[in-house]
Structure 1
Amino acid sequence: MDASRGCQVDGGPRSGDMGSLVGPTLLWLQDVAAVMFLRARRTFLQAAILLCVLFLLLWVAIFLYGSFYYSYMPTASFSTPVHYFYRTDCVSSRSVLCSFPTANVSLLKNGRDQIMVYGQPYRISLEMEMPESPVNQDLGMFMIKMSCYTNEGQIISTISRSAMLHYRSSLLQTLGTLLFSPLLLSGMSEQKQLIEVELYPAYSENSYLPTTGAVIEIQSRRVQIYSAQLRIHAHFTGIRYLLFNFPLTSAVLGVASNFIFLSVLVLFSYLQFIWGGVWPPELVRVRVTMTDRTRRLQRRDEAQRRVINSDKVVEGSDPANGPPPETPADSPRKGQRRRGWRDCVGWGAILPECGQQVCLTALSLFYRRS
């Protein structure tokens, strides 16, 4: 009985010691968990803000590059059909027209936007589908004339070029007909030639007289044409050449350059915000003000020392170092001289040193003459 009681009495303090150790440990673990949670939350928020800022900078960089590309790059190529018209109010044979075939072509995109821009050379060519008919083969060479005009109808450029069908002998025509007879009979192929005539190798737009249209005339009454297309191609050089021929590489470099530039601006703004809180502008302003006041006080003390030394200057000394010595005849003007001299020195504390020297020299000359 006594032994059991003794054991129970001894076990009581041991359980209390364990409880006293577990309680602070749990509190410490709770504090550590709270601190770790706060740190993780802060890190997550900082990472989220950083990702949002980077995404915004990337979007702005892409937008800036797209805007630059759209405004800087002109139309690379343009093609429009050419519809010819001619007179029919005359008596002529079946193979001769009443007038030259003429077409009026608009050089505006969607009827309002300019195709060609100033400073960019363009290659203008006319593409015609002509049948290998006996009339065209006997036609030989013919002239094509193109006249560019402005919105007011003023002709600003005219050019003429010659063209003709490619020569094919009768034997070659016979062999070609026999070889491609299945395609010719099925309608999948035709006996025609595609003639391309270069009208302008490097046409340049006039900024004061922009081109809005062109008149194309075939100077032959016997020509036979299936269809025609006017094609305009831009000859890019420099940056435009790189942007057009290497679009992916140019886009990556352009977006990366914009992104780096914007990132540097944001970084400098952030550092300015931090440094502005550490060193407020009021402190800098106080330092500058105290420095200016100290300089003014030093100038005033120096001016006072010069006034004191000026009273002790002997005659024949340099006027710039002080006033001339007083004589009994000058005793009535003693106060006036000293006041004038002090005024000069006082103004010299504010004005540059050269202004003080001029004032002292003038007073010395005045007193000597008087």
Structure 2
Amino acid sequence: MGYIMPKHPIQTSSLLLGFAVFSVVSLLLWLATFLYGSFYYSYMPKATFSAPVHYYYRTNCESSTSFLCSYPVANISLMRNKKHVLTFGQAYRISLQLEMPESPANQELGMFMIRTTCFSRDGGHVASSARSSMLRYRSNLLRNLGTMLFLPAFLTGVTEQKQVLEVELFSDYTDDPYAPSDTAVIEILSSKVQIYSSELYIHAHFTGLRYLLFYFPVISALVGVSSNFIFLSVLFVFSYMRLLLRIEWKPEQVRGGQDNTQLTAHSILSLAAVHECV
């Protein structure tokens, strides 16, 4: 029959101490990560936002010479899930992307104006801009050479004879906190323009701390989590030391209180004896 050596109490206590230290460190690290993540998602706004632009116009013309009675107009909502897309105090770059065919009508159109107006919830005017744009010029020879070169792609539908224009509507737009923008109205001031599709893009222009958090996310996360972990660790150590000191000093304070009580009783008896002698 073999002899089984019992575990030494020191080894058991070391295992328990190591497990306790590991649990505390894991808890503090999880709390530090949670605090940084909460701060990041509450402080950082959405970097980009895009929405399709669908134009409409009136066709009930009194004159038979023109089919379109108004300029193409589009309403874009700046709300998502009942929340504002734009963050107060944050600068944004707002641009419009136009996909236009290289048709004779667009070539003859030349320059055209794009007017953008932002409105608040109650219909108040918040901001407006007017920008011009036009198709890139290409000579007849260049267009013919391009058509001959990409003829198989044109025939199979892989590519099309079109141009994509990007028009900057606002270069540094900041939303008003007292009258936030709810909708944006885009109007193209030409009834002859031809458009395949259109898209509105909003890009946040980060500066300061938001710039570091967005463009250096790994370094920012390491610094933020480390700072939170150090702060929580120091707070935990001080709290633990205070608890230990309170437990160690409590018996001595009780003993000191008993000594003081005995000394007070002895003093009272001595004074009484002196009074009787007198």
TM-score interval (norm. to shorter)? 0.7 to 0.9
CA distance in structure 1 between the partners assigned to 2:138 and 2:250 by the alignment: 89
Structure 1 runs of 4+ with >6 Å offset: none
Cα 1:134–1:47 shift into 2, 3 Å: same
**Structure 1, unpaired ranges of 5+:** 1-28, 291-370
Partner residue of 1:262? 232
SS at the partner of 1:280?
A: helix
CA distance in structure 2 between the partners assigned to 1:92 and 1:240 by the alignment: 56
Partner residue of 1:99? 70
- CA RMSD in angstroms comes to 2.0
- 1:253 equivalenced with 2:223 (yes/no): yes
TM-score normalised to structure 1 length: 0.66
Q: Which residue identity lines up with residue 71 of structure 2 in the other structure?
A: F
Offset at residue 279 of structure 1 (A): 2.4
Cα 1:282–1:118 shift into 2, 3 Å: farther
Partner residue of 2:263? none
Partner residue of 1:76? 47
CA distance in structure 2 between the partners assigned to 1:282 and 1:262 by the alignment: 31
CA distance in structure 1 between the partners assigned to 2:249 and 2:137 by the alignment: 87
SS at the partner of 1:78?
A: strand
CA distance in structure 2 between the partners assigned to 1:267 and 1:281 by the alignment: 23
Cα 1:156–1:131 shift into 2, 3 Å: same
SS at the partner of 1:165?
A: coil
Partner residue of 2:200? 230
SS at the partner of 1:86?
A: coil
Partner residue of 2:28? 57
- 1:162 equivalenced with 2:132 (yes/no): yes
Asked if the contact 1:125–1:231 (Cα under 8 Å) also holds between the matched residues in 2, the reply is: yes
The structure richer in helix per residue is 1
Which structure has the larger Rg?
A: 1
Aligned-residue sequence identity (percent) comes to: 54
SS at the partner of 1:279?
A: helix
Partner residue of 1:89? 60
Structure 1, residues 28-80: CA drift from partner, whole Å, max 9, x if none?
x99xx65x621111111111111111111111111101100000000100000
CA distance in structure 1 between the partners assigned to 2:251 and 2:144 by the alignment: 95
Partner residue of 2:16? 45
TM-score normalised to structure 2 length: 0.87
Cα 1:92–1:173 shift into 2, 3 Å: farther
CA distance in structure 1 between the partners assigned to 2:250 and 2:212 by the alignment: 48
Asked if the contact 1:92–1:98 (Cα under 8 Å) also holds between the matched residues in 2, the reply is: no
Q: Which residue identity lines up with residue 77 of structure 1 in the other structure?
A: T
Cα 1:253–1:265 shift into 2, 3 Å: same
**Structure 2, unpaired ranges of 5+:** 261-278
How many residues align? The count is: 254
Cα 1:230–1:161 shift into 2, 3 Å: same
The structure richer in strand per residue is 2
